[in-house]
Amino acid sequence: MRITPSDIPSKKFNKSFWGYIPEEVDQWLNEIVICYEEDVSELKELRQEITRLRTENKQLREICKEMDRLDESRVSS
């Protein structure tokens, strides 16, 4: 199961007699949400950059192939 930023603050925990201080847990979860959202955003940007670079790479390979073909035609003529 994938966890989304909105899943983090909605997570419910069982409490025992000793329990925990809810405000501290809530504050910690808020910090985690902020970091997680930043990471998700960065991942999205990096995936877009990968797509852009793959497209550019493909275009440059085609240009190189064409240049090689032109060089070969010059040599053979």
**What are 52-67's pLDDT values in tens digits?**
999 999 999 999 999 9
Contact in structure between 33 and 9 (CB atoms under 8 Å) = yes
Nearest to 9 by CA among 34, 35, 32, 29: 29
Q: pTM higher than 0.75 for the full model?
A: no
Per residue in 4-29, pLDDT (tens digit) is: 888 888 887 777 778 888 888 888 88
pLDDT score recorded for residue 77: 65
